[in-house]
Amino acid sequence: MGVWRQLRWRIVAAQMLVVLAGVVTLIVTAEALAARAVAPELLPAFEAAVVKALVVAALAAAVVGLGTSIVLVREILRPLRQLAASSRRIASGHYGERIAVPISDELRDVAQSFNQMAESLAQIEQQRVTLIGNVAHELRTPLAGLEGYLEGLLDGVLPNDPETISAMQHEVRRLRRLVDDLQHLSRVEAGQIILQPEVFDIVPLAQRIVSQLRPQLIEQCLQVAVAAPGEPLLVRADPDRTAQVLVNLVGNAIRYTPEDGCITIRIRGDASHAQIAIEDTGIGIPPEALPYLFERFYRVDPSRSRASGGSGIGLTIARHLAWAMGGDITAASPGIGQGSTFTLILPRAEPV
């Protein structure tokens, strides 16, 4: 019975059944017609001729059917074998594996889908390797600082005073902040965050965020303006998560806008969405960097963001939170030195 589980023999058997059914049908039809149309004395000779013709036809049909079966089996099973072999190699970690695309439409679709899957797996593996390298690099920086302070204390080079302890505490806080961000990112990407969506007016929330960050704005001599509609703009989202996203976006604008710059928060809506655009006159973003802004640990200016304590995953977390609330975040910039605009998009709600 194991033979009949193989596709090749089932295809051959199907072809042979077609031949057999055709021969039996011809025999029955010929006998029925002969009994009516052929004289009794000629019937034996007619039947003998018909049998000979059917035997020749059956042999020819069997040969043709067997040949077409072999061709069909090879056309179907060859890409399937390649697919199975490539799947095993991908499962063992060879993500560069690809299969040839057959001629037939159906098998071509299967092969193209498999190659697309393999390409996606290769990209995911590359992102995983990059993530491990980035995490190791980010952890190394505060750990190296702590190690330097400890060695200085042990060697007597650094004094055991509150200033040194405060510097060490700063490195520990950087390390804790990075670990907390990584844990938060992991939960957000896994969809494990708890949202409490409700209908609220986005305008007062944005104004509250500006008031909350005003000390930083004053410290850096930045001007801020909120351009909002006169009537309420209701959205359906989690207010706390929305505030978290806005704090991140406005905080980034503050971090990358030089003194005497300007930050404008424009709030507008259409029939289905509300848009909160944070525009700044900061350092800007090069066009080639825009597609990668929301990737983990990506930095347009690594030295500046590391000095200011950024982990490089704030935008990644913010975008995943926006996605979880049914919205999105987009980024735009004319270029270096021409500022940038980050827009939070949230689903609009009907008035209660």
Q: Which has the higher per-residue pLDDT, 271 or 104?
A: 271
| Letter string b/e over residues 14-40, b meaning 16 or more CB atoms within 10 A of that residue's CB | ebeeebeeebeeeeeebeeeeeeebee
Give 348's DSSP letter: B
Say yes or no to pLDDT of 1 above 60: no
CATH architecture for the domain at 198-347 = 2-Layer Sandwich (3.30)
- pLDDT bin (cut points 50, 70, 90) of residue 88 is confident
Q: Enumerate long-range contacts of 306-313, CB under 8 Å, 24 or more apart.
A: 306/141, 308/255, 309/174, 309/177, 310/255, 311/138, 311/177, 311/178, 311/181, 311/182, 312/134, 312/138, 313/181, 313/182, 313/185
Cα separation of 134 and 123, whole Å? 16
What confidence score (pLDDT) does residue 307 get?
Answer: 46
Instruction: Specify the pLDDT at position 158.
Output: 82
The secondary structure of residue 193, as a DSSP letter, is: P
Q: Mention the CATH class of domain 109-189.
A: mainly alpha
Fill in the amino acid letter for 239. P
More confident residue, 275 or 52: 275
Mean per-residue pLDDT of the chain: 81
Q: DSSP class of residue 190?
A: T
Tell me which residue has tokens 């008031």. 211
Angle at 233 between CA 232 and CA 237, to 5 degrees: 130
